Structure formats: C-alpha cells, structure tokens
A and B are shown apart, each in its own frame.
Chain A
Amino acid sequence: MINGRVWKYGDNINTDVIFPGKYTYTITDPTQIARYALENLDKNFAKQVKKGDIIVAGENFGCGSSREQAVTCLKYAGISAILAKSFARIFFRNCINQGLYVIECRDAVNKIENGEEITIDFQKGTIISKKGTFAFPPLPDNILEILKDGGLIEHIRNNVKFQNPNINSSPKSKC
C-alpha cells in the first residue's frame, strides 16, 4: 500500500520531456539523473517532488525513446507509482524492470486532481481518492513477481529458474 501526493499530467507525455536526450550519455548517476526529471515539462517537479509522490497521467505515458533514464529519473526523484490511462510499451516494461509500480485506470485518472493525496492498495487493486475508490485490474503474476523482487535484475538473481553455471551468486528463495 502506498500513499502520496499527485502530480497530474496530460496525454502523450514523451521521454524527451521526461528526460532529455541530450543528457542520456552525459549524466549517469541516478541521483543526478533525478534532478532533471520532467525538465522539459514541469520545471517545478524536480525541485518540489517528495518521496512517495505519485504521477497521474493520461494516455500513452512515456512514449518515444527506449531510454530507461526516463524511469530512473522519476524513481530516484521519489515517485512511488505511476497511474495512467495507458502507457507506451517500452516505458511500461522499463518501469517493471526497475521495480516502479505502474497502474492503468482510466476512471481514476479522469477524477483524481493535481495535488491531492491518494492511496493505492496493490493487494486489493484499489485506488482511494477524495472522489471515491477505483478498482484496477491486477498485473499478471509474472510481472508482479518482478515488481516484488524490486526489478528484473534482482528477480533474475533471486530466481533459480535462470541459474546457469556462470552465475556468481547464491540463489535466494522467491518471496
């Protein structure tokens, strides 16, 4: 369960406004990357975002480049989940692979307002806002497992199925 303040944006928010291409090979430290989050969209975001905040956006959030820093910048800026009407597919995968929760729920996006506090319950699949409670379909099990492990790399390390003789770490049990 997470609780956070909403930063609300519109449709088709692309990776170049989330994290500009000119920084993709020059800024590599995640905490530095976070300082440029949404630079071309909302100059206040990086300055004012707090740990646990939630992004609520329209259709096709994260469209454009495959650059993973578009996820890194939001995650390290403190964003705990992104709720959108829909996601661009590579961005969606990148979120899961970095352990950042993504939820698709059109109804909730239409009602939730910028700046309000919302609560997301992943167990129940509900979003609680001052406008009411919204249900969202749970993510498939294999994706939830990756998220629970904290991302794809951690998931591989934890997952005995992927063991090969080259792995340099002891397998951990799946949570």
Chain B
Amino acid sequence: MAIDQKMGKTFAEKILALKSVGSTGILPVNAGEIVTVSPDIIMSHDNSAAISGIFKKIGIFRVMNPEKVVIILDHCVPPATEKYAENHKIIREFVRQQDIKNFYDINTGVCHQVLPEKGYALPGTLILGSDSHTTTYGAFGAFAAGIGRTETAALWATDQLWLKCPQTIKIIITGKLKEFVTPKDIILYIIGDLGADGVLYKAVEFTGETIANMSISGRMTLCNMSAEMGAKIAYCEPDDKTKDWLANHNILTSELCPPTSDPDAEYEKILEYNIDNLEPQIACPHTVDNVRPVKEVQGTKFHQALIGTCTNGRIEDLEIAANILAGKKIAKDIRLLIFPASIEVYKDALKLGILEKLINSGAVIMNPGCGPCLGAHQGILAPGEVCISTANRNFKGRMGCEDAEIYLASPSTVAASAIKGEIIDPRELSF
C-alpha cells in the first residue's frame, strides 16, 4: 500500500477505515476524523421496544440488514411488572415481523456475555450496541462502542452511522497478581487513578505481560469497566488465548487476520502499571472512581452482597467465590445474591458443583440477567441499606433507592465480606 506511509496506524484507525461506507479499506482514517461506518453487528436489549418505536417514526417498513441485528432480553428478566412484560411482548412481535433471527429470549443471559458466547464478538469486527458496556467485546479484539437508542434505530433503518475516530491510549500492565487479587482490582485501581473522565472519548489498548497471561474472562472485566473512565472502546489484541476461547465455544474462526496496531502507531499517551504489589481495591459510594484499597474501608457493615452481572458473572468469578465460601456460611443478617452472566455459565457452574457450594453457604442463585444492577428488580435496596457488589456502577440510586450505598469490588472481596458480615480484605479472612 502506497498511501500514508509516514506513520503506523492504531487498531481504531485501521478498523474504521475498513468499515467506512464505500471504503476498500485502503483510504486511511486518522484519529479525530469523522467517518460514516457500516457495522458488523447492531446489538440492543430490553430497550429494543423503545428503539422499534423510534424506528417506525423514520417511516421505513423493514430493517435494512436484519442479519446484523442481535437482540437479547436481559435487563428485567423475567419481567417484574406488567409494563416490563408489555415491553418484552413488543420486542417479540417486532422480531417476528422483521424476521430477526438473532433473538435471545429471557433464558439466555446478559448481552455482554451472550454476544461472545454466540460468536458475534469476533476479532476485527465493528460492533455498535445500545448499551454503555458494549466496550466489553474489545476483549476479543473487536471495535465495540456504546450508542444511544435513536442511533440504533437509525442503524436498523440505514445500516450507517457517523463515528469519530478516537485517539488511542495504550495501557501497559506488567507484573503478577497476588493471591485473592483479580483483574477487577486492576481496573478499579486504574479507574481510581485516571478518574471517571480519565480516557473520555478515547480508545484504550490494554497490553503487557499481565494481559498476555490474563484469561479472556479477566480481559472482559477490564474492557467492560473501561466505560467507567469514559472510554469509547477498550481493546486487547487477539492472541492464542482468544483463539482457544473461541475454539472452546465452538465458534468457527478459520484463520482470522484482524487488523492490529502497528508498532509505530501514534498513541496519545502510553501509561504503565505494575501490579506486583496491587492490593484488593474497592469503589466507594457514589462514584466508580472513588477507589481505595479494601483495607481502608474494612469493617464497613452492609446488608446485601452481589456476585455476578456482565462485569464478574463468569465461571471464573463464580469459582473464586465458591472456593472462598465452600464449607462456610454467610454472616447472619446479610443476603448474598448470585447472578451468573449467562445460562452457559449457569450450566457450567452447576456441572462443576459451584452452585451447590454457593447455595450451601446461604447464597440465593438467581437466573442469568442484569438483576438489580440498574435498579429494575431482583434485589432492590431499601433506604439506608448498603450493598457490596461485583457490578460496574455505584451511582446514587443505581440499585433503585437513592438513599442506599453501593461498594464495588472483586468476587474474592465480596465473597470474603459475605462470610465476615462486613467489608474485609479477602487476604485477611482466616481460612
């Protein structure tokens, strides 16, 4: 290619060049440019009812590319009220009318877990999703960004949308995690360090030996929570771990050659973190960047503990919790809710005896879904109550009650705290 040999390109620049409407992939796109793209996948969830309403206003009868549309019911499943039930009914009817094949009903799981499991989140794909945590699919080397409802309707209608090509910030992570310290602690630490707007509008590339050694599950946690520091996308370059994960999930990947960042690509910033001495971290009320070492808030009482959701509801997370809770009981006066991220995770947890360990400890096993994370149902807090959760947001009112408090931590910290009945650094719980 003779064009623009001055400087290497970032993954973001390359993928947006490839996905630009009418592009042959040869014309370069530079950070800061606005391009019109055609995505590979358009994801939406329970908000699809509202999106279908907006879609109808455009005056178009048919979704342009129904094969690109993926709809997953997860935000309030099964429906908690008549209104939610009606919402789901509208979606099912729309899916039938539009012949949308990629529809997953209430028995499947959280969109951010289901999309990868069903083979939609592939390296080198462009995914636009009507959910802020769409960044999760970057763990597979996809360019995945959250969008709003109106633009999702526009995508259904026209298959096109404008995007600004983001500048990229590289985050190099080195070192080895200590026992009971998890990828969740890494991302909480980084968010605490950079702030809620630390990487606003930017693409974030996670790289370094820690990422190379990290499971796909851990990478998903990192990419999921990057939204909490303002990232447009998060990204881990696909490697053998990515290929193995896809192969293990029976997803065909006949020699994918996704674009990756050039060694001489222009980064806005390169940040480095060594996590050899990282301690368990916790985000305190009411912002995700209000992060401290867990030991600083040790002893804080709470009423509800939650393990699961799209941030930490994978088998690895449930296993960590089960290993801590095995043979023990949760403290009196607290309740522990478990939300597997998908029915596949649920089945694996059942097979591996994880659910039994959790049930015996006193946990309530919920069906896969978002649970109370967005304040809709299944574990809403009462005024004055405190929750420690593995989810990704702790904003005021997030779990339904504005007079409640939410702490965010890793599955290890939440499980250990559930036994103790107060927040505790998992390394300090006597086993």
Residues of A within 8 A of B (CB): 11-12, 14-17, 20-22, 24-26, 28, 39-40, 59-60, 63-68, 71, 86, 88-90, 93-94, 97-98, 140, 142-143, 151-153, 156-157, 162, 164, 166-169
Contact = CB atoms under 8 A, between A and B. Distances in A.
A84 to B, nearest CB: 11
A152 B154 CA distance: 8
A86 B117 CA distance: 36
Interface in B259-286: none
A66 B50 contact: no
A164 B65 CA distance: 12
A86 B151 contact: no
A11 B198 CA distance: 12
Contacts of A65: 132, 374, 393
B347 to A, nearest CB: 28
B408 to A, nearest CB: 13
B94 interface: no
B55 to A, nearest CB: 9
A156 B158 contact: yes
A175 B54 CA distance: 22
Contacts of A142: 34, 162
29 contacts: A12-B287, A16-B396, A20-B375, A20-B400, A20-B402, A21-B398, A22-B400, A24-B374, A25-B376, A26-B84, A40-B397, A64-B395, A65-B374, A68-B148, A68-B149, A86-B197, A86-B200, A88-B197, A90-B132, A94-B150, A140-B34, A153-B58, A153-B150, A156-B158, A162-B160, A166-B61, A167-B58, A167-B60, A168-B61
A21 B376 contact: yes
Given A89-B232, A90-B147, A60 B196 contact: yes
Contacts of B230: 60, 63, 88-89
Interface string B372-401: 001110001000000000000101111010
A133 to B, nearest CB: 27
Given A60-B200, A63-B230, A64-B132, A168 B59 contact: yes
B75 interface: yes
Closest 6 pairs (CB-CB, A-B): A60-B197, A16-B395, A21-B374, A22-B375, A94-B148, A21-B375
B163 to A, nearest CB: 9
Nearest to A88: B230
Interface centre among B76, B160, B230 (most CB of A within 10 A): B230
B351 interface: no
B146 A90 contact: yes
B131 interface: yes
Q: Say which size band chain B's interface belongs to.
A: 35 or more
Contacts of A153: 54, 57-58, 150, 153-154
Contacts of A21: 374-376, 397-398, 400
A156 B157 contact: yes
Contacts, number: 143
B196 A63 contact: yes
A98 to B, nearest CB: 6
B64 interface: yes
Nearest to B61: A166
B81 interface: yes
A111 to B, nearest CB: 21
Interface in B24-47: 34, 46-47
B151 A93 contact: yes
A94 B130 CA distance: 11
Contact of A12 (B75, B147, B196): B196
Contact of A25 (B62, B83, B131): B83
Contacts of B131: 66
B396 A40 contact: yes
Nearest to B55: A153
Interface centre among A71, A89, A164 (most CB of B within 10 A): A89
B107 interface: no
A17 B151 contact: no
B298 to A, nearest CB: 26
B150 A98 contact: yes
B58 A64 contact: no
A164 B147 contact: no
Nearest to A14: B395
A81 B319 CA distance: 49
Contacts of A140: 34
Interface in B63-101: 64, 75-76, 81, 83-84, 87
A24 B215 CA distance: 34
Nearest to B60: A166
Given A90-B132, A164-B64, A156 B395 contact: no
B287 to A, nearest CB: 6
A20 B196 contact: no
Contacts of B380: 22
Given A24-B376, A26-B84, 17 more contacts: A16-B397, A21-B375, A21-B398, A22-B374, A22-B375, A22-B380, A24-B47, A60-B197, A63-B197, A66-B146, A68-B50, A88-B230, A90-B147, A93-B151, A94-B148, A153-B58, A166-B60
B180 interface: no
Given A140-B34, A152-B154, A166-B60, A25 B200 contact: no
